[in-house]
Amino acid sequence: MSERLQPGDVAPAFTLPDADGNEVSLADHRGRKVIVYFYPAALTPGCTKQACDFTDNLDLLAGAGYDVLGISPDQPAKLAKFRDTESLKVTLLADPDKSVLDAYGAFGEKKNYGKTYMGVIRSTIVVDEDGKVEKALYNVRATGHVAKIIKDLGI
């Protein structure tokens, strides 16, 4: 498991395919703030709630200068189905080898019902216009998280 990011760290660069297979890089968003959120799996209840919350607040976030990227280990085809089924407007990126999840400290040891296993740690990283970490939130809850981010960012 990699180290968790801290405010002031340089956000690790990445280029990943979106739901349509197009390459999207963090560098494409230079000059804008980016909310990068990591979630375990498309088409699951908690991840659907979170993605819908981001979609519902996308205009507000964009108006405040934030782009939103959701990253999971799913394949692009599953992300396309997730986007289409739930009418999502958030850019969803595929990280099947978990290299970006790992670089951001969003993949590691989890505990559930007394069992320890490796998995995606639901996390949100806010990256500033210069590519530095502004906020790093780990083990966030799917429900109510977007409202908390909006409040924390003063939007």
Q: What is the mean pLDDT of the chain?
A: 94
pLDDT, tens only, 102-147: 999 999 988 888 889 899 999 999 999 999 999 999 999 988 989 9
Mean pLDDT of 81-90: 96
Indicate whether 4 pLDDT > 60.
yes
Residues forming the active site: 47
Bridge pairing between strands 133-138 and 66-72: unpaired
Bridge pairing between strands 23-25 and 33-38: unpaired
Max Cα–Cα distance, the chain, nearest Å: 44
Indicate whether 50 pLDDT > 60.
yes
Q: What is the model's pLDDT at position 54?
A: 96
Helix, strand, coil shares of the chain, percent, nearest 5, are: 30, 30, 40
Indicate whether 1 pLDDT > 80.
no
